[in-house]
Amino acid sequence: MNPIKAASVQFNHKPGDTSYNMGKIREFASSAADRQVDLLVFPEMCITGYWHVRKLSKDQIEELAESVPSGPSTRELISLASRYNMTIGAGLIERAGDGTLYNTYIAAMPNGETAFHRKLHCFISEHMSSGNRFTVFDIPQGARVGILTCYDNNIIENVRITALQGTDILLAPHQTGGCNSPSPRCMGTIDRQLWEEREKNPSAIEAVFRGPKGRGWLMHWLPSRAHDNGMFLIFSNGVGVDDDEVRTGNAMILDPYGDILAETWKAQDAMVIAELDPGILHQCTGRRWQKSRRPDLYGPLTEFTGREQDTRTVRFTFE
């Protein structure tokens, strides 16, 4: 891996407003270029909008969906990547050639190539399907990159498999924090008035974003994904009102020890930037531990226990 200057963006997308959302991406891409960023990471489904999709009919979702990589948003991402000589990741709804709808994350590279990841654990809509492959690829800036979208990162096997494919940097785009979670000690909804009054009383909402509904929840598990698997991790997230929930932002970049290189808890659109030093990868704890693996013992990991459920059942019940 070469030294990489990476950036993670949080922004408050507008539901269903692709034009507005792509405008925000253009603004951040230009700002990142001014700071010589090599790798720019935007949130999950930030092009189409996210949480409102659960209420849409199949026809309405299809109106938002685009082909990948031939659709207009992907083409514009490729154009921006080429113009600014950076790799840019952003998420949307994909309509595949057979008509299947996916929560897809695109990485557009300055050489005109793309990689894309179909979320493995899609629950946003009964009309959308989950992907069935892992996504690891090389970027022209000289690093091996993997993508896991939001809930994909909660399942530790997904991150380990991605690591075993040689990932140096994991892109972890999200729309999370402030969720109405069934777990009593996990997240929880945020009073929308705090967001509406964020300019008048920024300390109030920042305290919530840094607490158990936002950063506090992430710190229970996100650093371990980076540390245990010996990779840099770029966490990008929505911020602000997302239909009937308030996303907590908390954009951050972590090193292979799980330490935070850059982060924000501001209640606003923001970008954080960090230098990724490849020198710390070689002997980091997670990579050394992987050398002691005993795959001959791991057969039970591929066997069904009978407790498995579709992600929609675990995370979300349709009304």
Residue of 190, 188, 158 lying closest to 171 (CA atoms): 158
Q: Look up the domain containing 179 and give its range.
A: 4-315
Reported as a single tens digit per residue, the pLDDT across 197-247 is 999 999 999 999 999 999 999 999 999 999 999 999 999 999 999 999 999
CA 90 – CA 74 distance, rounded (Å): 9
pTM of the model: 0.96
Reported as a single tens digit per residue, the pLDDT across 53-78 is 999 999 999 999 999 999 999 999 99
**pLDDT for residue 309:** 86
CA 145 – CA 180 distance, rounded (Å): 31
- The CATH number linked to 186 is 3.60.110.10
When divided into structural domains, the chain yields a total of: 1
